[in-house]
Amino acid sequence: MSDDDRNRRQHDRHDVAADIEIFHKGYAIEFPTKDISLSGMGVVSLGVDHLKIGDKVLVVLAQDTEVVAEVVAIRKETLHLRFTPESMDDVKYYLEVKVADEGVKTP
């Protein structure tokens, strides 16, 4: 599989400025978002070193929106998460509300 195939987007990314919380093994850390799509998101990593690829985490997108995700990539300044299929309805709702409220555009 080429890098282009791996990096191909299944869903449009949205630039959403928000602070989200990620819970993992008793830790709760707030992260600023970079972008979000129906299938995953990128967040500024803030130098976090206790997460690793494959870890399952709980992501609090808003007070009433919690979703499960898996860490799929860790880069120098970015942590990449993939939402579970069961979380997609909640992510879709979050995007519809957030995009409608802030007029967020797809890059």
SS (H, E, C) 10-44: CCCCECCCCEEEEEECCEEEEEEEEEECCCEEEEE
Per-residue pLDDT of the chain in tens (107 residues, 90 and over written 9): 344 444 455 677 778 888 899 999 998 999 999 999 999 999 998 888 889 999 999 999 987 789 999 999 998 889 999 999 999 999 998 888 876 665 444 44
Residue ranges and CATH numbers for the domains of the chain are: 3-102 (2.40.10.220)
- Give the per-residue pLDDT at 79: 93
State pTM to two decimals: 0.80
Place of tokens 């195939």: 5
Rounded Cα distance between 8 and 63, Å, is 31
